[in-house]
Amino acid sequence: MAEERPRSSTKSEPHDEAAATAAPTLSSSQTAGAAEGYSSKCVFCRIAGQQEPGTELLYCENEDLVCFKDIRPAAPHHYLVVPKKHIGNCRDLKKDQIELVENMVAAGKTILERNNFTDFKNVRMGFHAPPFCSISHLHLHVLAPVDQLGFFSKWVYRVNSYWFITADYLIEKLRT
């Protein structure tokens, strides 16, 4: 993952994104609350901390989450719901974090409704499982309408495949 790769040479790689590698400096007030559950090397932690000016945060009623558009949308509505606290991925979750996943799903539905999409039978919400995570920070993909996914996106976001699991499936697994 680009944001966690150490830089051993001065030669830049063309596929690296500046946002994923640049670590902003934090003020003393920001570092005081950022010590636990924050990584300056994680682009989603920086987005959650409003340290990435190029990312527009969408309104989210839950103060523990942030929502924004995916930079590589696979559908007309492709949003990410991300906890402000750094959690590695869906396999790091425990039974006592079911409510977090449920809150992420609720936030995803709210974002869709705010963007005039209400056909929830044509929505896919889920997580990429490691090692298929592009960013090592838990994030829920909210995709709609699913019937407009392209060929490659249908494969990348294939329901309950080895690399992508739905939020409902994850909640079920956490309960057992």
Catalytic residues: 139
Q: What is the 3-state secondary structure (H, E, C) of the chain?
A: CHHHCCCCCCCCCCCCCHHHHCCCCCCHHHHHHHCCCCCCCCHHHHHHCCCCCCCCEECCCCCCEEEEECCCCCCCEEEEEEECCCCCCHHHCCHHHHHHHHHHHHHHHHHHHHCCCCCHHHCEEEEECCCCCCCCCCCEEEEECHHHCCHHHHHHCCCCCCCEEEHHHHHHHHHC
